[in-house]
Amino acid sequence: MKWLVVLAALVAFAECLHKMPLIKGKSARQTLKEKGLWEEYRKNHPYNPTAKFYNSGTESMTNDADVSPDYCIKLQNLKMHSSAENHNQFNPSQSSTFQWGDESLSIQYGTGSMTGLLGSDTVQVGGISVAKQVFGLSESEASFMTYMQADGILGLAFQSIASDNVVPVFNNMITQGLVSEPIFSVYLSGNSAQGSEVVFGGTDSTHYTGTITWIPLSSATYWQINMDSVTINGQTVACSGGCQAIIDTGTSLIVGPTTDINNLNSWVGASTDQSGDATVNCQNIPSMPDVTFTLNGNAFTVPASAYVSQSSSGCMTGFGQGGTMQLWILGDVFIREYYAVFNAQSQNIGLAKSA
């Protein structure tokens, strides 16, 4: 009987660990470039990848082209209801469990806003069915969303910053007993379109080496932590005296204050144009220096092979200007190097070298 109990417990644990493949899509920047629209777009919408992290109540016309999600989870029963005909849409009348809410929704982005209404339904994230999940049904969107491959955005930050104080989907996974632990983890497989994964309820040890280093959050809003410095060969080149950083899978680049980013790009040998794009000679990548980000006393090094992207048009660094805000975003360029674990209960982030 004892063995049966243990076996049942192990089966229950396995059922609460959900591994889901992620599909790498193109950013809005890439799509706009392919269509020959990028130069005109960025003239009309100045680049501002940190815009989504500041809710000032104003709507500035800036550019979120690299902030749009590059990785997508398959969401069943929940798709953006949109005037954009190139996206899948959700029809509430076809769901017997859907219920309209009594509040409208407005989210400000750098390039405009998303407006719509709140509703609730059983939302399936991969194979997880989350009952009575409140979500936003979009009626109008920021222009850059037209060029996104994703049909919607799945927020995994904290309820404290959720629009209309909506309970995030991961919180409901925890309270409904759908995950074995209050953590989710993300593996991004280099520049490949396949192999990336998110795990709800645990980690996948095949995707990292060594031990996980845990870093406490400095703010339980976004996944925000203290960053001590950014160094090259032991020399501080940015974030002198410390700064704040957000680990964010929804940002393609590593983004920081414009002055710091310009200095960092100069140190690695990049040339920055008027629009903030930093290019390098592709042949120089093997000799370019590593960049070390020290987080809460722990050093995390990113080599040039990771922070430089190569395309048919040349090579660019993955360091983007974020304006005057003293905030860093450690996006996909960083997360591809370090397996990321997000603990909602302990409010800390775990990082380990990606396998």
Express each pLDDT in 238-278 by its tens digit: 999 999 999 998 888 999 999 999 999 999 999 999 888 89
Using DSSP bridges, classify how beta strands 254-256 and 319-321 pair: parallel, antiparallel or unpaired: parallel
pLDDT digits (tens, 9 = 90+) for 173-195: 999 999 999 999 999 987 666 78
Average pLDDT, rounded, for the chain: 83
pLDDT digits (tens, 9 = 90+) for 93-115: 999 999 999 888 887 665 556 78
The residue among 223, 239, 243 whose CA lies nearest residue 340 is: 223
Whether 10 shows a pLDDT value over 50: the answer reads no
What pLDDT does residue 73 have? 47
The residue among 231, 216, 225, 215 whose CA lies nearest residue 327 is: 225
Q: Rounded mean pLDDT of 4-22?
A: 57
Residue the block writes with tokens 């860093």: 328
Q: Rounded mean pLDDT of 27-40?
A: 72
Domains of the chain, CATH where assigned:
18-179 (2.40.70.10), 204-354 (2.40.70.10)
Angstrom distance (rounded) from CA 319 to CA 30: 16
Percent over 70 (pLDDT), the chain: 77
Alpha helices in 207-328 (DSSP H): 258-267, 304-307
What pLDDT does residue 259 have? 95
Residue-wise over 39-59: b if at least 16 C-beta within 10 A, else e?
eebbeebebbbbbbbeeeeee
